[in-house]
Amino acid sequence: MRQYLLPETGAFRKVNMHSHSTFSDGKNTPEEIKAAYKAKGYAAVAFTEHEHIIDVTHLTDDEFVAITAYEYDYNTCKTCPSSYAGHEAPPTFNFKECLHLNLYAKDPHNFKAVCHNPKFVHCGNSKLYRE
């Protein structure tokens, strides 16, 4: 007998719970991300920039929710050089040996990062953001 994990009826929404904009290493601005996902029928996107929270509350409207969040990177390799091609990063940061934890704010206006190390904030390290 087939067992369903979700009810067969209900109001379901398409949501992306992990994205990066030009505020970290993404290729698109938050506004461009919203437009692209809305065009594909998404109701919400979590903006999970590396190591810092950005205010995207202005993107929330009657048809779309911009979720306040961020990605905490835990580096398990303390002596390895960075392997993130084309990007400047601290010399001990190795993305091959890195754990990523996405943290979501219960309140969209809460911008407190509970796990924050300013040494690893790469604000605007996207090539397109720097040009």
Whether the CB-CB separation of 126 and 26 falls below 8 Å is answered with yes
Q: How far apart are CA 78 and CA 97, in angstroms?
A: 9
Answer whether residue 86 is part of any domain.
no
pLDDT digits (tens, 9 = 90+) for 71-80: 887 766 554 4
Which tens digit of pLDDT belongs to each residue from 17-62?
A: 999 998 888 889 999 999 999 999 999 999 998 878 889 999 999 9
- What is d(CA 10, CA 68) in angstroms, rounded to the nearest whole number? 25
pTM of structure: 0.69
pLDDT tens digits, residue range 73-107? 776 655 444 444 455 555 555 455 667 789 899 99
Expressed as residue numbers, the domain containing 31 is: 14-73+100-130
Q: Do the strands 65-75 and 98-104 form a parallel or antiparallel pair, or are they unpaired?
A: antiparallel
Read off the DSSP letter of residue 61: B
- Nearest-CA neighbor of 23 among 64, 68, 60, 61? 68
Q: Provide the domain count of the chain.
A: 1
Is 41 inside a domain boundary?
yes
Instruction: Please report whether residue 122 resides in a domain.
Output: yes
The CATH number of the domain where 117 resides is what? 3.20.20.140
- Identify whether 3 is part of a domain: no
